[in-house]
Amino acid sequence: MATIFGAITSETPKYDLVKKLAVYEVRKYGRQVRAEVKVETSGHMMENLGVPFRMLAGYIFGGNIKSLGTAGASVITEPSKQPGAASNEKVAMTAPVLLSQQVPTGVKADNEKVAMTAPVLLNEHQADKKSVKMSFIMPSIYDSVDKLPIPKDARVHLVEVPEHKVAVIRFSGQFSAARAAYFKDREAALRAAAKEDGIVLSVDPQDVVVAGYNPPWCLPWLRTNEIMIPVLEGAS
């Protein structure tokens, strides 16, 4: 991931810089392969990050089975039933780690309460139903799900994310629930600046991604954090 002084030594996903503005920038990322997990939470999405992190770390550090001709398989619930399958393949760690708050199935976000310049969070009546999705972006040598080993943990899913354009604001500091209000302010700043520039961003709460590039031991003022929000199709 990175050193105590903030130097990022892991592979990071490549992108084209579409626009660089005073407060933020617009990037176009190519297709990505990710490993992701979703866990329920009653608090802020950055609470208890160790739970989803351990699930994903378990996968990339060897909790997997090499696929033997099972193209397209992304999870396996009974790995012991794959006779002869090689296991414990290690997958390199990359940066950043991605987080997003998830709206439960069948529950709609109240879009009328979400202004373009305001932070996008779940409404209070959904507080006991929230979940968080954490994602690791796979190294670029894995350009499809089929090339990755199959997770032994059925909670880990492998997905392919198509090419996408996002507005990004960068900031430093601790990556924790204690700074939730500050993260909210950064999202508001990103939305306000994009609106002023005529760039239309998604208002879906699930589309707001918080990216952390550093391990916990990195000095807070040298950390790299980002908030990414998709730019809507056809927008600048």
Domain CATH code at residue 136? 3.20.80.10
Q: Which of 107-116, 120-129, 164-173, 208-217 has the highest mean pLDDT?
A: 164-173
Query: What residue numbers bound the domain in which 193 lies?
Result: 15-201+208-230
Average pLDDT on 62-87 reads 54
Residue 5 inside a domain? The answer is: no
Check residues 48 and 231 and name the one with the higher pLDDT. Answer: 231
Listed range (108-112, 207-211, 224-228) with the worst mean pLDDT: 108-112
Residue 1 inside a domain? The answer is: no
Residue 128 inside a domain? The answer is: yes
Residue 82 inside a domain? The answer is: yes
Asked if residue 203 lies in contact with residue 121, where contact means CB atoms within 8 angstroms, the answer is no
Residue 10 inside a domain? The answer is: no
Residue 191 inside a domain? The answer is: yes
Flag whether pLDDT at 210 surpasses 80. yes
Listed range (32-41, 158-167, 216-225) with the worst mean pLDDT: 216-225
Asked if residue 39 lies in contact with residue 132, where contact means CB atoms within 8 angstroms, the answer is yes
Number of domains in the chain: 1
Residue 43 inside a domain? The answer is: yes
| Predicted local confidence at residue 171, as pLDDT | 93
Q: What radius of gyration do the chain's Cα atoms show?
A: 18
Flag whether pLDDT at 107 surpasses 50. no
Check residues 43 and 211 and name the one with the higher pLDDT. Answer: 211
Q: Which residues on neighbouring strands pair with residue 226, listed in sequence order?
A: 170, 211
Listed range (4-18, 40-54, 121-135, 167-181) with the worst mean pLDDT: 121-135
Flag whether pLDDT at 72 surpasses 50. no
Cis amide bond preceding 104, omega within 30: no
This prediction's pTM:
0.78
> Please, what's the largest Cα pairwise distance for the chain?
59
Listed range (9-13, 51-55, 199-203, 232-236) with the worst mean pLDDT: 232-236
For 144-170, b/e burial (b = at least 16 CB within 10 A) is: ebbebbbbbbeebbbeebeebbbbbbe
Asked if residue 145 lies in contact with residue 35, where contact means CB atoms within 8 angstroms, the answer is no
Residue 173 inside a domain? The answer is: yes
